Structure 1
Amino acid sequence: MAEIWFLVVPILILCLLLVRVIVSKKKKNSRGKLPPGSMGWPYLGETLQLYSQNPNVFFTSKQKRYGEIFKTRILGYPCVMLASPEAARFVLVTHAHMFKPTYPRSKEKLIGPSALFFHQGDYHSHIRKLVQSSFYPETIRKLIPDIEHIALSSLQSWANMPIVSTYQEMKKFAFDVGILAIFGHLESSYKEILKHNYNIVDKGYNSFPMSLPGTSYHKALMARKQLKTIVSEIICERREKRALQTDFLGHLLNFKNEKGRVLTQEQIADNIIGVLFAAQDTTASCLTWILKYLHDDQKLLEAVKAEQKAIYEENSREKKPLTWRQTRNMPLTHKVIVESLRMASIISFTFREAVVDVEYKGYLIPKGWKVMPLFRNIHHNPKYFSNPEVFDPSRFEVNPKPNTFMPFGSGVHACPGNELAKLQILIFLHHLVSNFRYVFHAR
């Protein structure tokens, strides 16, 4: 009799497990099916494929195979990719409350957990308002003389260089403008040590997140600690001086919520480092692509030169500074910028996480899954932009269809510093095409 029970009990347990699996599957099916796609290897998923090729090729090949919504697993996280304007609007605008902003933990560590990007609700709203007030047109127009000075200094430093590494030089320019907007006129010693450590963090940001001594990611973590220390020193000095300043740090230091609470030093440091990230890399990339596209179209380059030369002559050949009005009256140059943003799609996607089970067009997006609207795939879809692989600024003589052009994101988490980015690009291009000739060599 005992021998029979030894056989019966395992069979009963197996039957119960099978019933549970069947019920679970039926329950899941009743809520909707998962999007098509491959989850790849256990845990790793398709991370190695993503990191071993151009990410744009990876996402585009997936879209061609599975359609405008598909699943995968990246860096250990199950993800749903969305490549249509309607889906992007659904996640970022109309149903944004169902998706919280999120980044891979490895990247969050390098920027700082209190940074604006990773939050929603009251804290996000307060910090976003502080960023916006620091970069309002009324505020940044006062920075024009200083941005001009930085642009001219950058260009003059190129004069004795036979070959210029464009992207690296643009990063230096964008970093200096970012420092200006955040700290105002910062001591050069602080600026240099911030730049040194930031460059290490930047180098490790998109590396494989392996925190072993000697790896780029580990070096970036160590440099991030140094950045926090330096920023904390600057904060302490500013607090001792008690000077009322209108730069971004000043707005952070002067903030009090409705309960009288101020921001902690860690919150301030994380948001400063976050804004530096946002201010430097995308602007530098955009400027680099603009120079490449202009070099490839000499007729367009000459037209941009003519537009800028008229302003150059109006200002008595740079004896007078640029004005805010003049930067608002560069229509062709502005179209070149927005077409470059579309073509390059520097921010190719953004990260969100479903906070509840969400159904979209018959597919289930489970709670806890990462969700990534793919901006580049939308920007390069021939349904929305004819001949999308051709650089054509004239396409922006008419406004694009809603939600098809999102170079700075969309919704409450759209980049609040986009006006400053455009302003510094316009100023730099004005002085470059008015005073210099260049030959662009791709590497």
Structure 2
Amino acid sequence: MKLCTSSPIGANFIYVLQRASKAKMITREVLLCLVALLVVWVSHCVYRWKNPKCHGKLPPGSMGFPFIGETIQFFIPNHSLYDIPPFIRSRMARYGSLFRTSLVGRKVVVSVDPEINYQIFQQEGKSFVICYTESFSEIIGRKSLLVYHEMAHKYLKNLILHLVGPANLKAKLIHEMDESTRTRLHSWASHGNIVDIKEATSNMVFEYFAKKLISYDECKTSKKLKDNYNAFMSGLISFPINIPGTAYHACLEGRKNALKVIKDTMEGRKNCNINHGDFLDYLVEEVRKEDTILSEEIAVNMIFLLLFAAYETTSTAITLAIKFISDHPQVLIQLTREHEAILKSRESKNSEITWQEYKSMTFTHMVINETLRLANIVPGMFRKAVKDVQMNGFTIPAGWLVMVVPAITHLDPDKYDDPLLFNPWRWEVDSDQRRGYHSNAWFDIS
């Protein structure tokens, strides 16, 4: 079929085709320009992400992928019981003792240098303040003790000393914990079955501190506070995606439900004239004072955090101590000698422990110190630089987080012979390792 271009209809048709072809070319050119601009913008963002602004020289390191950073690598589990996490170890080998990274959307400088760590804590309140990532702050609560600075932080810490300070430890806690531990040990022995030490000690610690804090008894209520804490713990170290079905979401739900139990208990306590003799009674009285900064919300979050700290860290330390002792028969022999000598000196073997006996347990304290050194229960401590800070020729920019890694000091071969070996004798008073540790370390175990 031939189109007659001399006719008006044919000429108009050709004109329309030419316009359409020209429009396609323009559209194609616009799209190419937009794609080019997008590529340039993405390239610029990636460059700026990998090369952050700094009024000085940044520590070496990698910022990972934009927004995600190196979060995925950071959350890879450490299969070693008490060695340095692989994320930290691999970057130490590549970049040295001070390196930069990005975790859950925050720019972070990681310090594994004991001297730098000491300087960071010396400058707390001046160049650095307590700060955590957004996701962790969401988990522990915006009103948690960990988010307050300077005078407010000191005031809240002093409130806690009413519960676990030296005076209360000497007068009450040591006797109550002795009784609670004896009861549990007799119960485990009478059953004659294999005991899951982590689960058993977790239950023991949780029940004791729940009673001390809010007079809570798991057997007498349907609220099941411990189940909520278990849900909270299961997602504490997880990728921060708040979607139903994820560990992070379960963690937040566990926290919300646990806070509700504590808040309901506090509401009931406000209108009650009965003295329960627990920490909550003390906080309720403190909230009622006119000149206090303590609010009900802060008090509830404080109890939540205290129970979490006691529940997880104490049970983990006890479990590791039992494993270390069972793996080292000579340690068990010396511990047995020390405690049998104390029992023989008593008028009655069924007497409760005294403060003098506790202070005389020299080797027991050495075992505790060595357990804490190897356990490294706290994987990292975070601070935020409030201004540009110079460290070892590098600049930590204002607003960046600094992550201090305690395990580096505790497992430093320059301070400890064979640092991965469980050796309580290194804590003897005349030990060079003990003297060296106290003169150089920033984190004093004993």
Shorter-chain TM-score range: 0.7 to 0.9
| Residue of structure 2 in register with 1:402 after alignment | 439
For the pair 1:44 / 2:68, whether they are aligned, the reply is yes
Structure 1: how far apart are the matches of 2:134 and 2:222? 28
> How many angstroms does 1:376 deviate by?
0.1
> How many angstroms does 1:27 deviate by?
8.6
Identify the match of residue 217 of structure 1 among 243, 248, 252. 248
> How many angstroms does 1:342 deviate by?
0.8
Structure 2: how far apart are the matches of 1:402 and 1:227? 42
1:289–1:187: structure 2 CA closer, same or farther, 3 Å change rule?
Answer: closer
Structure 2: how far apart are the matches of 1:150 and 1:192? 23
Q: Deviations over 1:186-206 (max 9, x none)?
A: 574359722121111111211
TM-score where L is the length of structure 1? 0.80
Structure 2: how far apart are the matches of 1:350 and 1:161? 42
8 Å contact kept, 2:75–2:237: no
Identify the match of residue 331 of structure 2 among 295, 300, 312. 300
Structure 2: how far apart are the matches of 1:161 and 1:42? 56
> How many angstroms does 1:126 deviate by?
1.3
Unaligned runs of 5+ in 2: 1-39, 79-83, 429-433
1:310–1:237: structure 2 CA closer, same or farther, 3 Å change rule?
Answer: farther
> How many angstroms does 1:290 deviate by?
0.9
1:191–1:334: structure 2 CA closer, same or farther, 3 Å change rule?
Answer: farther
Identify the match of residue 241 of structure 1 among 272, 286, 291. 272
| Residue of structure 1 in register with 2:93 after alignment | 64
| Residue of structure 2 in register with 1:439 after alignment | none
Question: What SS is found at the alignment partner of 1:79?
Answer: strand
| Residue of structure 1 in register with 2:188 after alignment | 158
| Residue of structure 2 in register with 1:229 after alignment | 260
Identify the match of residue 121 of structure 1 among 146, 150, 165. 150
> How many angstroms does 1:385 deviate by?
1.7
| Residue of structure 2 in register with 1:81 after alignment | 110
Structure 1: how far apart are the matches of 2:223 and 2:373? 33
Q: Deviations over 1:223-275 (max 9, x none)?
A: 22211111112112322234566643233222269962452221111111111
Identify the match of residue 140 of structure 2 among 111, 127, 130. 111
Question: What SS is found at the alignment partner of 1:402?
Answer: helix
For the pair 1:131 / 2:168, whether they are aligned, the reply is no
8 Å contact kept, 1:336–1:393: yes
Structure 2: how far apart are the matches of 1:37 and 1:59? 12
Identify the match of residue 57 of structure 2 among 33, 43, 56. 33
TM-score where L is the length of structure 2? 0.79
Structure 2: how far apart are the matches of 1:66 and 1:310? 52
Report the residue type matching 1:175 in the other structure: F
8 Å contact kept, 2:366–2:427: yes
1:27–1:287: structure 2 CA closer, same or farther, 3 Å change rule?
Answer: closer
| Residue of structure 1 in register with 2:36 after alignment | none
1:103–1:114: structure 2 CA closer, same or farther, 3 Å change rule?
Answer: same
8 Å contact kept, 2:438–2:444: no
| Residue of structure 1 in register with 2:362 after alignment | 331
Question: What SS is found at the alignment partner of 1:241?
Answer: coil
> How many angstroms does 1:47 deviate by?
1.3
8 Å contact kept, 1:150–1:176: no
Question: What SS is found at the alignment partner of 1:113?
Answer: coil
1:403–1:203: structure 2 CA closer, same or farther, 3 Å change rule?
Answer: farther
Question: What SS is found at the alignment partner of 2:126?
Answer: helix
1:109–1:157: structure 2 CA closer, same or farther, 3 Å change rule?
Answer: farther
The aligned runs of 1:414-433 (5 Å cut-off) are none
Larger radius of gyration: 2
8 Å contact kept, 1:342–1:407: no
Aligned residues: 387
> How many angstroms does 1:179 deviate by?
1.8
1:100–1:320: structure 2 CA closer, same or farther, 3 Å change rule?
Answer: same
What percent of counterpart residues are identical? 30
Question: What SS is found at the alignment partner of 1:205?
Answer: coil
| Residue of structure 2 in register with 1:381 after alignment | 412
Q: Which has the higher contact order (CA 8 A, sep 6+)?
A: 1
Q: Deviations over 1:203-225 (max 9, x none)?
A: 12112222111222212222222
Larger deviation, residues 377-386 vs 189-198: 189-198
> How many angstroms does 1:112 deviate by?
1.7
| Residue of structure 1 in register with 2:235 after alignment | 204
Q: Deviations over 1:67-93 (max 9, x none)?
A: 111111111211111112221121112
Report the residue type matching 1:201 in the other structure: F
Larger deviation, residues 314-323 vs 252-261: 252-261
> How many angstroms does 1:177 deviate by?
3.0
Question: What SS is found at the alignment partner of 1:196?
Answer: helix
Report the residue type matching 1:119 in the other structure: Y
Structure 2: how far apart are the matches of 1:138 and 1:191? 35
| Residue of structure 1 in register with 2:4 after alignment | none
For the pair 1:143 / 2:169, whether they are aligned, the reply is no
Structure 2: how far apart are the matches of 1:274 and 1:27? 36
1:186–1:84: structure 2 CA closer, same or farther, 3 Å change rule?
Answer: same
Identify the match of residue 359 of structure 1 among 383, 387, 390. 390
Unaligned runs of 5+ in 1: 1-13, 409-417, 419-443
8 Å contact kept, 2:117–2:442: no
| Residue of structure 1 in register with 2:5 after alignment | none
